Amino acid sequence: ILAFFFIPRAACDCHPTGAQDNLCDPITGQCTCHKNSYGRQCDQCQPGYWNFPNCERCNCNGHAALCDSRTGY
Q: Are strands 49-50 and 56-57 parallel, antiparallel or unpaired?
A: antiparallel
Strand partners, 19: 33
pLDDT of residue 41: 97
Answer yes or no: is pLDDT of 70 > 90. Answer: no
pLDDT digits (tens, 9 = 90+) for 2-61: 555 555 555 799 999 999 999 999 999 999 999 999 999 999 999 999 999 999 989 877
Determine contact, residues 39/21, Cβ cutoff 8 Å: no
Residue 65 sits at the vertex; the CA angle it makes with 64 and 70, to the nearest 5 degrees, is 95
Tell which residue, 53, 73, 51, has the closest CA to residue 63.
Answer: 73
pLDDT of residue 1: 59
